[in-house]
Structure 1
Amino acid sequence: MSIHPTALVSPKASLGQNVSIGAYSIIEDGVEIDDNSSIGNHNSICTGTKIGTGCKIYHNNSIGEIPQDLKYDGEDTQTLIGNNVIIREFVTINRGTSAYGKTVVGNDVLLMACTHIAHDCIVGNNVIMANIATLGGHVEIGDWCNIGGGAMIHQFVKIGRQSLIGGGFSAKQDVPPFIIGAGIPLRFVGINKIGLERRKFSEEVRALIKKTYRTYFKSKLNRGDALKKIKNEISQIDEVKEIVNFIESSSRGII
């Protein structure tokens, strides 16, 4: 364990093996940092934060501070950071509120500089958020998503897994799995072909995903009828079922 002499580490914090704490960082009461994680200089790791193994947090970050929500009334809530997470400079992650109780960042996530994750968000595994990307409260990001630089995700929006949001754009409605969203207003511009290929989705599966979205977004049917056609006429592989379930369960509507 390595703790810089200028760091302030609460005796009530729990640090695992081979943890390092950089200059002028503050580790508050009740913080848990698991093995082989490193905290750089000038970081604030607040009460209720748990950080997994093998994480690397660079400099000047605020992790687990109280939410920017006027309804928050001091309740005990958490910020949970998974394993092997990389957090670059000037990132802010707020703890949860009584609505959900925690803000969650999954495993193997990359948060580039100046990203923001608001209260009660759930960020899945293997997500990349590029510089200045911002999540409002209660946002859910599926596994393997890529949120482009400067993108803004409105509160309560859900982004389905393996989707990509173009840099500088804003999502105000839900974005279903496996697609690219871009434009003003945000719209479907195609399936995330390169991402699906990298994840070894077969050509057959990619073709069915493409056919599903062509029916939903590009046919002359209204979306309700398009969804019926998808369920009746397209092979119901797991990925197609996932798309249908996502659309049917959306509370904010689909882009």
Structure 2
Amino acid sequence: MKQLISTKAEIHPDAKIGNNVTVEAFAKIDKDVVIEDGTWIGANAVIFPGARIGKDCKIFPGAVISAQPQDLKFNGEYSTVEIGDRTTVREYVTINRGTAARGVTSVGNDTLLMAYSHLGHDVSVGNHCVVSNSVQLAGEVVLEDWVVIGGMSAVHQFCRIGAHAMVSGMSGVLSDVAPFTKVFGLPVAYMGINIVGLKRRGFSRQQIDNIHEIYRAIYQQGRNISQAVEYIQSYLDPTPEMGQIISFIKQSKRGIVKSSIGQTASVES
């Protein structure tokens, strides 16, 4: 088993370290930690019990993974942090482990967590996400796949951000952000659909037009959200994207964000 581990690193004998793992000087890896093949751990990173880090990840200097949650309800229950493959955790990122609420804080594959970002207890971040510098995710936030959050934004506890959505920098997310949308502000408001992101990910012109038509019905034609959902299901051609949007709205517990012109868009409206 080939490993490149500095003699100045502190590694608990019960930690499980895979092949071709590099651990730089002054990194600390505690007991009950699993680090899979090909991962690099930078200097001064601290990895507490309960961390599960996948293959070919990069953990930059000063990152703190699987520290106890900053939740007054936490009572010492066993919980974990689980990070997928090829994910990058930049300098001074903090990822708290889960609580009894969910038991795990999770990050998917091929995700980038930029410097100084924070993932609170029981957060779930999907695959191919970008969480930019100094973004703060409160406890039990959910980011679906391909979400991008701009720098210095904050997301309120329990909020959910749908797949392929983009939150612009310096924003405050207080409600759920529906899939494929672009939002900005404090609090955030709907600013349109994430056309640039969808094109980059191979969505066709027809798919983008269909998504746009759905959100016109929700935000731009004077209906409340319940009326808009009824209209969409009755008059628009069904597509996988429509199913994804309708399912997200129906499952929303905080309501989806308002439009830029002040329309309320909650399930109860």
Q: Same fold (TM over 0.5)?
A: yes
Task: Tell me the residue number matched to 2:267.
Answer: none
Q: CA deviation at 1:4?
A: 1.1
| Equivalent AA in structure 1 for residue 191 of structure 2 | V
Q: Which residue in 1 is equivalent to 2:262?
A: none
- Counterpart position of 2:183: 181
**Equivalent in the alignment of 1:71:** 73
Equivalent-residue separation in structure 2 for 1:244 and 1:128 (angstroms): 25
Aligned equivalents of 1:49 and 1:88: distance in 2? 16
Task: Give me the TM-score of the superposition, normalised by structure 2.
Answer: 0.94
Aligned residue pair count: 255
Q: Which runs of 5+ in 2 are unaligned?
A: 258-269
Partner of 1:121: 123
Q: CA RMSD in A?
A: 0.7
- Residue by residue, what CA displacement relative to the aligned partner does 1:77-134 show, whole Å, maximum 9, x if unpaired? 0000100011110100000001100000000000110000000011000000110011
Residue 81 of structure 2 aligns to a residue in which SS?
Answer: strand
Structure 1 portions without partners, runs of 5+:
none
Shift of 1:249: 0.9
**How far 1:221 sits from its partner (Å)?**
1.5
1:157-168 equivalences in 2 (<5 Å): 157-168=159-170
Question: Which residue of the partner structure matches residue 8 of structure 1?
Answer: 10
Cα shift at 1:185: 2.4
Deviation at 1:183, TM superposition (A): 1.9
Q: CA deviation at 1:184?
A: 2.8
Q: Please state if 1:249 is matched with 2:267.
A: no
| Seq. identity, % | 40
Q: State the 1:30 CA deviation.
A: 1.0
- In the alignment, the residues of structure 1 paired with residue 228 and residue 107 of structure 2 have an alpha-carbon distance, to the nearest angstrom, of 34
Match of 1:140 among 139, 142, 154: 142
8 A Cα contact 2:170 2:185, kept in partner: no
- Tell me which moved more, 150-159 or 219-228: 219-228
Among 86, 95, 98, the alignment partner of 1:96 is 98
CA displacement at 1:160 relative to structure 2: 0.2
Partner SS for 1:104 = strand
State the 4+ residue runs in structure 1 displaced beyond 6 angstroms: none
Separation in 2 of the partners of 1:199 and 1:208?
16
Question: Structure 1: how far apart are the matches of 2:256 and 2:182?
Answer: 13
Q: TM-score, normalised by structure 1?
A: 0.99
Query: Which residue in the other structure is 2:225 paired with?
Result: 223
Task: For 1:153 and 1:104, locate their aligned partners in 2 and report how far apart those are by CA, in whole Å.
Answer: 16
Q: 2:212 aligns with which of 210, 213, 216?
A: 210
- Code of the residue aligned with 2:228 in structure 1: it is A
